[in-house]
Amino acid sequence: MQQALLARAACSGAIVLAAGLAAPRSCEGSALRPLECDPARVVGPAGCLKCHQREVEQWTATPHSQTFESLQRAPEAKAIVERLGLRSVKRNDVCTECHYTQQEIDGHARIVAGISCESCHGAAQGWVDRHGDYGGPQATRETETPAHRDQRRADSIAAGMNNPSNLYLIARQCLACHTSPREDLVNVGGHRAGSPDFELVAWSQGMIRHNFLRGGQTVNVPSSQERLRVMYVVGVLADLEASLRATALATQRAEFGVAAARRAARQKKRLYEIARLVDNSLLREALATAVDAPLELRRREELEAAADRLGELAYEVAAAESGGAWGALDPLLPAEADFRWRSHRGEAAAPAASP
């Protein structure tokens, strides 16, 4: 049965683009969206600095932070805004949604940072105090009981925190902006259709990496090989989910829809390679779901149903798998030399054990 499924997957990946996109239909909306980040509930990077000084220092050196000063000066950004008939780069929801952090100051939403802590982890006002409570005034991260830690994480997530204890939650957030977020932004504005070469391991383990928590708050610890395997698989599943959502929302055979379908086809092929190397029931179901997802217009309901299930399966894989038995996937993982923005602060000499 598995061999038959793998054969179907290989065939599906080969023919999907030849089949093309069907006639356009009318629909509105966007692909996978960033977390809702209500400016009234944003505390800003300074609100994280007390407990996460090293992480904030690392962030300030990244393009995520530096977009605050650089993006509005870029000729390409100005041209996109002009084509869309919008105001300046920093004064419209289309650009600010992915490129900036807004905070309410004196009753007005103000740009206070580039892509910052709350861009990835969610507006913090509702959960930041709970997140930093280790069990009482005298308790510390080191003395916190496992039961309290688990409850603290659950309460923080329930209050709106996007917690990296499940890799899918972070992958989903990355892909909300690194896939094509809006059809008009691409087809009318001329914005790139996402980041076509995005891959979760390579793009999260370079300069963006900030594993100081596992490094005793002093060392930016590399993730273990086992965690990287799970990260790679979850990244493929989340990328496929996001690409299917974008394909579902395309209204015409133009750059947005074509790029989304091609991206989904690439992720189907990656998932096929993963399933060929790893015998896992969750991945078998994910592959079957992907194979049956039609990369065509006017198939929104089917595509969104497939995307929903892939998201659920990605979360389950991230929660259940340690990656210890997935050594066969190592040839698929990017080499460290290929990590995006490779400069680190507080680099560790060797990978740490899985958390």
pLDDT (tens digit per residue) in 164-198: 889 999 899 999 999 977 999 999 999 999 999 99
In a domain, 105, yes or no: no
The answer to whether 59 touches 210, Cβ cutoff 8 Å, is: yes
Cβ–Cβ under 8 Å, residues 225 and 330: yes
Whether residue 335 has pLDDT greater than 90: yes
Determine the 3-state secondary structure of 332 from DSSP. helix
Confidence of residue 321 (pLDDT cuts 50, 70, 90): very high
Residue 148 has pLDDT above 70, yes or no: yes
Domain that holds residue 24: 1-33+165-355
- Report the pLDDT averaged over residues 199-218: 90
Within a domain: 260: yes
In a domain, 231, yes or no: yes
Residue for token pair 């600095």 = 49
Between 5 and 252, name the one with better pLDDT.
Answer: 252
In a domain, 311, yes or no: yes
Q: For the chain, how many structural domains are there in total?
A: 1
Question: Is residue 102 very low, low, confident or very high in pLDDT (cuts 50, 70, 90)?
Answer: very high
Note whether residue 185 is domain-resident: yes
Confidence of residue 337 (pLDDT cuts 50, 70, 90): very high
What pLDDT is attached to residue 50?
A: 87
Query: 73, 161, 167: which is closest to 114 by C-alpha?
Result: 73
In this prediction, residue 114 carries a pLDDT of 96
DSSP-H helix ranges across the chain: 2-19, 46-49, 53-60, 63-70, 75-84, 93-99, 117-121, 128-131, 146-158, 167-178, 183-187, 200-204, 225-249, 255-277, 281-291, 300-320
Across residues 105-113, what is the average pLDDT? 94
Is pLDDT of 8 > 70? no
175: closest CA among 314, 284, 355? 314
Among 191, 339, 311, 168, which Cα is nearest to 243's?
Answer: 311
SS3 (DSSP) at 223: coil
Give the integer Cα–Cα distance in Å for 8 and 27: 30
The pLDDT assigned to 1 comes to 47
345 band by pLDDT with thresholds 50, 70 and 90: very low
Give the H or E element holding residue 105. strand 101-105
Q: Which residues contact 35 (CB under 8 A, 6 or more apart)?
A: 119, 122, 123, 162, 173, 176
306 within domain boundaries: yes
Mean per-residue pLDDT over the chain, rounded: 86
Flag whether 150 is in a domain.
no
